Structure 1
Amino acid sequence: MRYGTKDVLTGVSFAARSGEVLVLLGPNGAGKTTIVEILEGFRMRSSGEVAVLGTDPAKADEAWRARVGVVLQSWRDHGKWRVRELLGHLGGYYRRYPSPGKQRPWPVDDLLEVVGLTAAADTRLTKLSGGQRRRLDVAIGIVGRPELLFLDEPTVGFDPEARREFHDLVHRLTDVDDTTILLTTHDLDEAEKLADRILILAGGRIIADGSADELSRRVAGASEIRWTLNGQRFVHSAENPTPYVRELLTQHGDAIADLEVRRNNLEDTYMRLVHDFEGGRQ
């Protein structure tokens, strides 16, 4: 993607596998939104080849769009709609594009239960809480039972319980419906919990592609081992902590207290990869 003489995306190349959760991470301005909008067919690319469900989204028709779900950061719609009425109305557009393997659209009452809005089914949109509104956004995105679902910062404004329920919904969509999901988020803990694969974008290109564990191993530094012995606190670094901890317990047994091994998590990995990339460009 190029704006004037500036390349915003350069040589971005990846493929999503059926039924996986692919999480796109990157600092602000890295090009995440641009990639997603190109894949959704909302933005024309400057060059390159793109295929989504076997179709170039720039040339896609309504039948293709019926196979794709989109959850934006916010929707604008008529506040006087009631939840059940709106979902029933939107679902009606999908009946003309049946799916050979799925019931399309979702039955409204089933969908309300899946997203946790059964109790609010007859509530006007203007009366929904922030969390309920976000659940409705998700329901709108999946009402057509899509084969591919784009989620842009889907849990912004969720409380911890709603976030946990949303994570359960994501797993249901992939495990039961075999839905492929491309998700953008700034919540690295959420990414680590949900992602089958993670793409890290920086400087308009993908600098890492793999599971959280694979990426952590790629940049793994020494693990930090902490423990208390005879009232004194100790800290030790080891590339492979398992043999060290085993020997420590063999020597001191029950005298060891507060033993803790801290390995790199996704946040450590992400910060290291982005920092190294940006440092290499300077």
Structure 2
Amino acid sequence: MIKAKDLTKDFGAVHAVRGITLDIAPGELVAVLGPNGAGKTTTMRMLTTLIAPTSGSAEVAGHDVVRSPGEVRRRIGYVGQGNGAGHQHRVIDELHSQAAIYGLERGAARTRVGSLVEALDLGDLVKRKVSELSGGQRRRLDVAMGLVHTPKLLFLDEPSTGLDPQNRANLWEHILRLRAEHDMTIVLTTHYLDEADSMAERVVIVDHGEVIADDTAAALKRRLAGDRVSFTCASPADLAVLVPGATDLSVTGNTVAARVTDGPAAIAETLRAAFEKGLTITAAETFRPTLDDVFLSLTGRSLREENTK
């Protein structure tokens, strides 16, 4: 569905994207993560034909983004960071206008708009002006506008930013249901690591305009971060040497903390070794890694902190 090779984008002396290569198969849900300024949105804008790459190539939905931008646009949906609907227009008018832009005949447009209004719970809002909608309602409208022509590929650029947890969950429930119904491919950028962790089949991490990791969330966490374990013991220095495969080991007061490949196995082995040495462990915990731990392992800094900045 997407085949990009060595994509770059320069804005004067600023190298926003520095050679991104990306292959996305039909039906995948891929999350693109990175701090602000990493090149995520610039990459999305190149793949959706909104800006031309400085160099490199990309085919999206079977068409070249430079040579055939119109063919690409006919086949994709795009929900950008800002709201796409006119504030003084009614919800129903915006949906029908979008359908007309994509060449749907009136009968087909009515059917499709009606289906999306029902699927995205917009029925009570169709006569309202966009300016009268809440943030969550506007994002559902944006998604409906991006899906009105039934694309096989949907780009979502931070679709849930600014929404409260309930509205985020509601929006994703609608998106995932529509994806299942229409076998869509979805590419999204997000600052919410839990979204990428729980829903994406692949996670692509971008930093300084380059892809620095590309795999399933589980594989990235297992390979690049590992579990963290913590033990409380009256003799922490003696216990520290017993934690198998420990890296990033620290001793604070009576607590020994370390990163290991398999947390539960490391705890079991440490408890056995401590018993044999006559050491008493009063508490033991394991912490599963997050995608932020992966980014920290790759770059030495926290993705959460960078995105907050």
TM-score with structure 1 setting the length = 0.81
Structure 1 gaps of 5+ residues are 98-102, 277-282
Match of 2:4 in 1: none
**Alpha-carbon distance between aligned partners in 1 of 2:129 and 2:205, rounded to the nearest angstrom:** 39
**Alpha-carbon distance between aligned partners in 2 of 1:202 and 1:106, rounded to the nearest angstrom:** 43
* % identity of equivalent residues: 36
1:215-226 aligned at under 5 Å gives the runs 215-225=220-230
Q: Which amino acid aligns with 1:273?
A: L
Match of 1:213 in 2: 218
Structure 2 gaps of 5+ residues are 1-8, 234-253, 276-280, 302-309
Match of 1:175 in 2: 180
How far residue 33 of structure 1 moved from its aligned partner, in angstroms, is 1.5
1:35-74 aligned at under 5 Å gives the runs 35-74=43-82
- Tell me the C-alpha RMSD between the 2 structures: 3.0
Name which one, 1 or 2, has greater alpha-carbon Rg. Answer: 2
How far residue 24 of structure 1 moved from its aligned partner, in angstroms, is 1.0
Match of 1:195 in 2: 200
How far residue 34 of structure 1 moved from its aligned partner, in angstroms, is 1.3
Give the conservation status (yes or no) of the 8 Å contact 1:197–1:212: yes
**Alpha-carbon distance between aligned partners in 2 of 1:6 and 1:79, rounded to the nearest angstrom:** 34
Match of 1:93 in 2: 101
Q: Greater CA deviation, 129-138 or 74-83?
A: 74-83
**CA deviation digits over 1:148-201, x for unaligned, max 9?**
111111002222122112222232233221111111111111211221111111
1:84-123 aligned at under 5 Å gives the runs 84-96=92-104, 107-123=112-128
**Alpha-carbon distance between aligned partners in 1 of 2:282 and 2:124, rounded to the nearest angstrom:** 49
Higher relative contact order (CA 8 A, sep 6+): 1
Match of 2:242 in 1: none
Match of 2:25 in 1: 17
**CA deviation digits over 1:1-36, x for unaligned, max 9?**
233455332221011111111111111211112111
Corresponding position: 1:269 with 2:294: yes
Runs of 4+ in 1 over 6 A off after TM superposition: 103-106, 256-259
Cα gap change, 1:215 to 1:114, in 2 (>3 Å) = same
**CA deviation digits over 1:87-119, x for unaligned, max 9?**
12322333459xxxxx88862222012222122
Given candidates 261, 285, 294, the residue that maps to 1:239 is 261
Give the conservation status (yes or no) of the 8 Å contact 1:82–1:121: yes
Cα gap change, 1:8 to 1:244, in 2 (>3 Å) = closer
Give the conservation status (yes or no) of the 8 Å contact 1:106–1:145: no
Q: Which amino acid aligns with 2:23?
A: A
**Alpha-carbon distance between aligned partners in 1 of 2:186 and 2:95, rounded to the nearest angstrom:** 21
**Alpha-carbon distance between aligned partners in 2 of 1:105 and 1:61, rounded to the nearest angstrom:** 27
How far residue 76 of structure 1 moved from its aligned partner, in angstroms, is 5.2
In terms of fraction of residues, the more strand-rich structure is 2
Give the conservation status (yes or no) of the 8 Å contact 1:105–1:143: no
Q: Greater CA deviation, 137-146 or 70-79?
A: 70-79
**Alpha-carbon distance between aligned partners in 1 of 2:292 and 2:110, rounded to the nearest angstrom:** 38
3-state SS of paired residue (1:58): coil
**Alpha-carbon distance between aligned partners in 2 of 1:105 and 1:148, rounded to the nearest angstrom:** 22
Q: Which amino acid aligns with 2:224?
A: V
